[in-house]
Structure 1
Amino acid sequence: MPGFKELTARPRLKKTRRVVTVTCFLLLAGPGFAADSPVSTLTLDQALQAAFAGNPDLAAAQWEIGIAQGDRQQAGLIPNPEVSWEAEDTRRNSRTTTVMINQPIELGGKRGARIDVASRAQDAAGIALERQRNALRADVIQAFSGAQTAQQRLQLSGQSLALAEHGLRVAQGRIQAGKSSPVEGTRAQVQVSEVRLELSRAERDRANAYQQLAQVMGAPLPTTTRVQVAAEELSIVPPPDRLLERLNETAELRLARLQIEQREASLGLEKAQRIPDLTVSVGSQYDELERERVNVVGLSMPIPLFNRNQGNVLAAARRTDQARDLRNATELRLRTEIQATLTQWQTANGEVQAFNRTILPAAQRAVESATQGFEMGKFGFLDVLDAQRTLIDARSQYIQAVAEATQARVRIERIFGDVDAFGVSP
């Protein structure tokens, strides 16, 4: 972790290290990774690829494209003809039989209006799928970040336990030398017990975070999997003016505009329904008594006397007005959310920088000074405990600030999708 100093010296790790992948993601990650390693590292890119390939909600949403295509195809079909047979007089020698073919002919542009509505629905299905992919991407980033945070908390709990155990050993050494009261040893032991409980909670939280990540990805994670360590530097979120310039290109606002067009197309279809359809009939009639066959031609059309579809036209017009208001509400909500999110990111980023530059180094020095002073008999063990707790709290607040900054990035990703691929840069 940036800003954290180990209590004991450790050999420096080589800069070049081999990254291995989770066994179940080898096909997604590509060649060049080993599957026989006991511990594997899962990167964010691998988690995103696995989620796009295996998330059941996204897989179900993808079928909406085919459904919309079927609706579009059905909307363009013309009505089928009807065949009718009719007999007058049941007596065989005197009855008259008529065979007719009836073909409905749609008037008023109904077929074109249906196609327009279905085409708008087809476009909306594509944008809705894009929005769901953006939401899934944001969920994966959030779950991955949650796993990283839980992993960092577990690591810090281990460091805190080492810190508390070091204080306990110092206290026991002074007690054995007769320089400190046994009460200080009890206090040190209580501190160790509290930190061990915190370590147990951190292990539980990490397990829950990994389960949440596996659920979003749509694939179980092996027990030997560890998520990639978070980068030391926070990701950069573009400035508000750049994002607001691209607001109309977001999937959510494009979908809101398309819903207006879809409601307008539905209004046009309802208006077309006011015009009755014409039915053309062609057939043949045979008279058994006269031994004569004649051709029959007919036209029929309902009279729009009472039902002129006026109720459906009114409802469709009001739905169009509603869609316009919803679009305006969506734009207002997105603008407000973007500004609030960027404010959150700037605040969290400032806190992270303050922890890295000032708070964490000062808290670490305070622990070292208090411990050395206690060994020399200058301070009491309460001073050591206070310094230790201050450092532990500072580390927890640092992780919380990083998590809040990541949450802000996730909210931007949920609105815009991949910000880097979107072409927005600071």
Structure 2
Amino acid sequence: MAHSIKGWIGVGLACVCLGCAAEQPYLSPASLHSDISIQNGLPKSASPTEAVKEKLDEGSVELASHSQWDPEAFDSGLTNPDANNEEESHLELANAEIPSEQLENPAGLKVRSGYASLDDLLAVAFANNPSIKALAATTQKAAGYRTQVGLYANPLLGYQGQQLADQGTDQHIAFIEQEIVTGGKLRLNRVVLNEALRAQLQELEAQKLRVATDIKIAFYDCLRLQEQIVAIDGFSGLLQQGVQAAEERRKAGEGTQIDVLQTRVQRQQLELDRRQGMATLEARLKEISSLCGSPSLILEGVVGELPVQPQSLDWRSLEEELVTSSPEYAAAQARIRQATASLRRQRVQPIPNLAVQLGAGVDNGTDSGMLNLQVGAPIPVFNRNQGNIAAANAEYCRAIEDARRIDNAIRARLAVASGEYARAAEAVNMYSGELLPAAQQTLDMAETAYKGGEQDFIQLLVTRRTYFDTRLAAIASRAELAMAQSRVDGYLLSGALNSVIDGSGDDSLRGLTLGQQ
């Protein structure tokens, strides 16, 4: 029997020396980078609210007071994360590498002669905006940490020799040691990081809405500038006719050189307005390229239309819908669940893990085999994890108040947006229904009266300028209406290039689990 045990000891030592453990796969930086790509935006058939609901089917969390939290009642929500791989399926959507040739002109982008539609620009942004890519990376981090914190401790395989200097009485033992984790700590670790992953997925959705909102606002501002430049060109042609008419009246002795010069000055003022508009438009187009994450994308203009009539919105019901389905608020809810799970996890930390060691060997002094079993556990006398429990409880309270803050912030932003929309809607209705027709009729009558010598030239100049300003203001009101609608559609979120929120966590819970001293 002694020879048999010696043989097993030799095999065990050979395994330790040669490294029997399978080599772990190495993830190169390139492979990690290729795993981070972005979904190409929200489905055209789905609203942002529906797209967020498709992402997560987790029920909403009621904002209870601090004293209402019941750890036992929450146990029913601590399901095994292995039974719900929803986040894994969503992360698979971000696993397709974007070819380098598509970075500046991704599939689906149809820019002809330097002009792009809103859908084209959003496709570029969702594929290239660095903040979206950064948040997609944080979801990968959170998924990795979620896996890591649930891993069991590696077993320890070793050899022990005793009385080696005393030939004939030496003892040789091969042993294996394993730490047995108790209290469901590893499962609770995964629950905590699972909610961190859910929060990051919601932050990713929120960032996509921020990018879309900023691009839409810049897009509609470009449409405004383009329409105003077209209006300037048209009115400039009308003033050129006015210059010719003034020249004819001067030659006929019915007008003066002052009339001609004043008309030319007014036309030059229009040319200045046009040049300033072109400069602003060029800057706005460059801004759109940067918001899309492709600053080398050259745009000459955008293709689209400004709204003609405002929509009728029920702001009361819209307010509740925005709060309950906002990804920003959903991320706050996930952080409440994460804080609750963390508190539950810290409360089971004092439950001692078991250190089990099994050894087998031979005693040459008696020429007999040896079999040892050792079991130990730390006694929570001084460290009962009381500090971490208090901190986790405070974090739970902070998460609740933060969710309340976000709720109030959404409602406050909606109040401002509703006022902007209402003002723009009133302006659009007034300009299209009364002001523009009246200004056009007044200008036509003034031009006819001046040609017939029935009106003073100064009054004609005032009438022309009034018509021109009214026309530009009408275009601006339509753009403001479109921008206000874009803010509401984007859940009142903005900041396409702001630094991202990285709440992916870390693997410290695993170290806490396996180190109870």
TM-score, with normalisation over the residues of structure 1? 0.82
Q: SS at the partner of 1:303?
A: coil
8 Å Cα contact 1:163-1:388 kept in structure 2: no
Deviation of the 1:206 alpha carbon: 1.5
Residue 193 of structure 1 corresponds to which residue in structure 2? 268
Question: How far has the Cα of 1:237 moved from its partner?
Answer: 5.7
Q: Tell me if structure 2 keeps the 8 A contact 1:117–1:266.
A: yes
Q: Is it true that 1:305 corresponds to 2:381 in the alignment?
A: yes
**Range moving further from structure 2, 97-106 or 308-317:** 97-106
Deviations 1:312-339 (A, max 9, x none): 1111101100111111121122223223
Residues 198-217 of structure 1 aligned to structure 2 (within 5 Å) = 198-217=273-292
Cα shift at 1:285: 4.9
Cα 1:223–1:264 shift into 2, 3 Å: closer
Q: Which runs of 5+ in 1 are unaligned?
A: 1-23, 418-426
Q: Distance in 2 between matches of 1:267 and 1:47?
A: 44
Is the 8 Å Cα contact of residues 44 and 144 (structure 1) preserved in structure 2? Answer: yes
Q: CA deviation at 1:406?
A: 1.7
The alignment partner of 1:377 has SS state of coil
| Deviation, structure 1 residue 274 | 2.2
Deviations 1:346-404 (A, max 9, x none): 22111111011111122222222222222222323221221122122212322332222
TM superposition score normalised by structure 2: 0.68
Q: Secondary structure at the match of 1:230?
A: coil
Select which of 453, 465, 488 maps to 1:389. 465
Residue 126 (str. 1) matches residue 206 (str. 2): no
2:357 to 247, 266, 281: 281
> How far apart, CA to CA, are the structure 1 residues paired with 2:312 and 2:390?
46
Distance 2:166 2:304 in 1: 90
1: distance between equivalents of 2:235 and 2:345? 69
- Asked if residue 353 in structure 1 is aligned to residue 444 in structure 2, the reply is no
- Asked if 1:46 corresponds to 2:126, the answer is no
Cα deviations across residues 138-176 of structure 1 (Å, max 9, x unaligned)? Answer: 223222212211211221222232233333222222223
- Which residue, 149, 161, 185 being the options, matches 1:75? 149
Q: Which residue of 2 aligns with 1:59?
A: 133
Residue by residue over 1:206-232, the C-alpha shift from the partner in whole angstroms, topping out at 9 and shown as x without a partner, is 212222223333445555554223343
1:238 equivalent to 2:313? Answer yes
State the distance in 1 between where 2:381 and 2:430 align: 78
Larger mean CA deviation between 116-125 and 260-269 belongs to 116-125
CA RMSD of aligned residues (A): 2.7
CA–CA distance in 1 between the matches of 2:277 and 2:488?
Answer: 28
Match of 2:403? 327
1:151 aligns with 2:231: no
Deviation of 1:182 (Å): 1.9
Q: Percent of aligned positions with the same letter in both sequences? A: 25
User: How many Å separate the matches in 1 of 2:326 and 2:347?
Assistant: 32
Distance in 2 (alpha carbons) for counterparts of 1:165 and 1:194: 13
80-89 vs 191-200, which deviates more? 80-89
Tell me the distance in 2 between the aligned counterparts of 1:257 and 1:118.
Answer: 14
Q: For structure 1, which segment, 198-207 or 96-105, has the greater mean C-alpha deviation from structure 2 after superposition? A: 96-105
Q: Secondary structure at the match of 1:284?
A: strand
Distance 2:251 2:364 in 1: 129
What amino acid maps onto 2:153 in structure 1? P
Aligned with 2:455 (options 364, 379, 392): 379
Moved more, 334-343 or 113-122: 334-343
- Secondary structure, counterpart of 1:28 in structure 2: coil
Separation of aligned partners in 2, 1:291 and 1:157:
108
CA distance in 2, matches of 1:127, 1:346: 30
* Aligned mates of 1:196, 1:245 — CA distance in 2: 48
Aligned mates of 1:356, 1:76 — CA distance in 2:
64
Question: 1:167: which partner in 2?
Answer: 242
Can you list the C-alpha shifts for 1:97-122, whole angstroms capped at 9, x where unaligned?
54332211112221121011122122
Match of 2:108 in 1: 28
